[in-house]
Amino acid sequence: MENTKDLAFDIFCKLLLHTFISQTEHTSRAERKRRDSFGMFDGYDSCSEDTSSSSSSDESEEEVAPLPSSLPIIKNNGQVYTYPDGKSGMATCEMCGMVGVRDAFYSKTKRFCSVSCSRSYSSNSKKASILARLQGKPPTKKAKVLQKQPLVAKLAAYAQYQATLQNQAKTKAAVPVEGFSWGNYINSNSFTAAPVTCFKHAPMGTCWGDISEGVRVEVPNADCSLPTKVFWIAGIVKLAGYNALLRYEGFENDSSLDFWCNVCGSDIHPVGWCATSGKPLVPPRTIQHKYTNWKAFLVKRLTGAKTLPPDFSQKVSESMQYPFKTSMRVEVVDKTHLCRTRVAVVESVIGGRLRLVYEESEDKTDDFWCHMYSPLIHHIGWSRSIGHRFKRSDITKKQDGHFDAPPHLFMKVKEVDAAGEWFKEGMKLEAIDPLNLSAICVATIRKVLADGYLMIGIDGSEAADGSDWFCYHATSPSIFPVGFCEINMIELTPPRGYAKLPFKWFDYLRETDSIAAPVKLFNKEVPNHGFHVGMKLEAVDLMEPRLVCVATVTRIIHRLLRIHFDGWEDEYDQWVDCESPDLYPVGWCQLTGYQLQPPAPQSSRDSQSSSSKQKKKAKSQQYKGHKKMTSLQLKEELLDGEEYSFLQGASDQESNGSASYYIKQEP
């Protein structure tokens, strides 16, 4: 998708559709507004009911009240006029839309700016031709020139409107809006955010193109007190995920009115959108007198500049269409017994994230959150096909309206060849503990399933019945060969109760009479993911997967990312794959309507830290990892271990990179 274009020619054509005007001269005739026949903003007037022009040229104008002498207006040729008194007002040419001093206009009624416009007015064919050229439409015989009301009347009404607004403002107190702002957070700390292209599963992740600093867009003009919505051109000063810091054209190095906006939002458009949509371009009030010829200024600034592609909003809409629908049935991990799956029903879909309710939950409170590309959900019948444990539902038949999700909707894993040398039961390896995602532990292959799936257990903390085994695919980026942590200087968590420290793999293999899984069987592909240490993002707390939090990448080991949740202790950090569907660009929550969890305040962090130290739990039959509280629960006590439940582990997504790990074999 191409999203850059030379605007040189387009700007000359499109800018003819606009009249650039100052911020203080708009008329509101009650709620009646109108657009002129050229799609231009007539003074500060907007659309109302169109009135056909009369063939007579001696139509009288209504009398208006005197106007303040300080009220300026910007003519479309760049000249600025003021009103020395209340009589010598301004006029608008009914043929070409030119705004100027009324006394300089042609004819007694001052309806035309020149003899040419006066003569052209009487020719219906010429009127149709002009309208067609400026509106980009083929001429029609029925084309009409709209009759314009005197600009002086509009300005008088607008002055009265402004006075009414000021009186209302004195009686209304501003209501403070509390909440987290990514823009303020990034600006105050000079943070950088991971680019959208790092998140292939997120909206626009694969078609973001070269949207970068310097791209020009058309946005609503907030530096304006007009009763109607107007627009102006702004440039991207800084990008932070989906969010962009914008600066209005004409402000140069002045950042006083810079503002953050979501690029994928409905109020951002490519340059030229106003022309094709008939929307007014109005320069900000702060700089209205900075330039005398706005048209020439914009042509100069926009020639050769980049803008969004014309189909950008369509692409955004398409990328936010999700194939999973409510009432679909899937198989998902049983959060109380990791070794098995259960049937669940899609209750809601937000930004590709699914709220799944276990089928036997009558009150629909027994739920589980995950992304539609999560390795933890599968089509109905998956468990039986690979030999995975499955909890049969007490419900003998489908409930009305429920239907099985088609198998093609689920994330595909990489095909493997298990015919030759392959994983075997009892082999040792290193794996991310899905119950404590901050730890990489000594682990054992407990069972080899079909299609490359493995049942893994954490040494020293397994339940006697194997209920805490968990399923990883052989290509999962969450399992590693023996020695991975040592080579990459990561702390390896030894088996619980193992006394011979520091832990040495050679000694442990000999003591347990076991062998290490061959290095060549592991996934060593590392995609060019684009993440860097210190980048900000929005990440799911996989120990509480309904929460999406403000987070930071604190370490990168090949394709493995260490995710830190801002405002929380390091013990809550989680190891996540770079292609995990549980990582999102800054602004994802705002775009999709998902609630973002802000960084925890200092007082809450202190209480959480002391509570967690007092309530360290031994990992018995079912280890319970640390769990963060939502902003609504910060004043509550830390939950007991028995109340913790397993929540989603790191991503098992297939990779497509070419880089490889550097791993040494243990003797």
User: Which of 168-172, 265-269, 336-340 has the weakest average pLDDT?
Assistant: 168-172
Q: Residue 37 class from Cβ within 10 Å (0-12 exposed, 13-18 middle, 19+ buried)?
A: buried
Mean pLDDT along residues 82-89:
40
Model confidence pLDDT, tens digit, residues 150-161: 444 444 444 444
Query: 143-147, 331-335, 405-409, 476-480: which range is least confident on average?
Result: 143-147
Reduce the DSSP state of residue 28 to 3 states and report it: coil
Q: What is the dihedral of CA 291, 295, 298, 300, to 10 degrees?
A: -100
> What six digits make up the tokens of 326?
């409510």
Query: Bigger pLDDT: 601 or 339?
Result: 339
**Residue 184 main-chain phi, psi, to 5 deg:** -65, -40
**Is 232 exposed, middle or buried (CB count within 10 Å of its CB: 0-12, 13-18, 19+)?**
buried
Bridge partners, residue 574, by sequence: 563
CA angle 75, 9, 93 (to 5 degrees): 25
Q: Identify the DSSP state of 59.
A: P
Closest by CA position to 319, among listed 212, 241, 211, 207: 207
Q: What is the band of 264 on the pLDDT scale with cuts at 50, 70, 90?
A: very high
By mean pLDDT, which of 246-250, 334-338, 531-535 is the weakest?
A: 334-338
Q: Is 496 helix (H, G, I), strand (E, B) or coil?
A: coil
Least confident piece of the model among 153-157, 406-410, 468-472, 662-666: 662-666
Q: What is the DSSP letter of 60?
A: P
Q: Residue 598, CB half-sphere, CA atoms under 13 Å: how many? A: 15
Strand partners, 284: none
Name the strands in the sheet holding 269-270, side by side, starting at the edge strand that comes first in the sequence: 259-262, 243-248, 231-240, 216-220, 269-270
Give the pLDDT of residue 126: 41
Q: What percent of the chain has pLDDT over 70?
A: 64
User: pTM of the predicted model, to two decimals?
Assistant: 0.70
Model pLDDT, residue 122? 56
Dist CA 33 CA 46 (whole Å): 5
Give the model's pLDDT for residue 664.
40
Q: Is 310 exposed, middle or buried (0-12, 13-18, 19+ CB in 10 A)?
A: middle
Q: Which pLDDT belongs to residue 107?
A: 65
Q: Is residue 261 a contact partner of residue 244, using CB atoms and an 8 Å limit?
A: yes
Average pLDDT over residues 174-190: 74
522-537 pLDDT per residue, tens: 999 999 999 999 999 9
Q: Which of 544, 549, 560 is nearest to 624 (CA)?
A: 544
Report pLDDT digits (tens) over 195-240: 999 999 999 999 998 899 999 999 999 998 888 999 999 999 999 9
Range 347-361 average pLDDT? 94
pLDDT score recorded for residue 210:
86
Report how far residue 195's alpha carbon sits from residue 216's, in angstroms, rounded to the nearest whole number. Answer: 18
Q: What is the pLDDT of residue 652?
A: 35
Query: How does residue 417 score in pLDDT terms, banded at 50, 70 and 90?
Result: confident
| Closest residue by Cα to residue 598 from 641, 629, 621 | 629
CB neighbour class for 91 (10 Å; exposed up to 12, middle 13-18, buried from 19): buried
Note the pLDDT tens digit of each residue in 619-664: 333 333 344 444 444 434 333 333 323 333 333 333 334 344 444 4
Summarize pLDDT for 375-389 with one digit per residue, the tens.
999 999 999 999 999
Q: Please classify residue 535 by burial: count the beta carbons closer than 10 Å to its beta carbon, then call 0-12 exposed, 13-18 middle and 19+ buried.
A: buried
CA separation for the pair 627, 647 (Å, rounded): 10
Name the average pLDDT for the chain. 75
- Which amino acid appears at position 109 of this protein? T
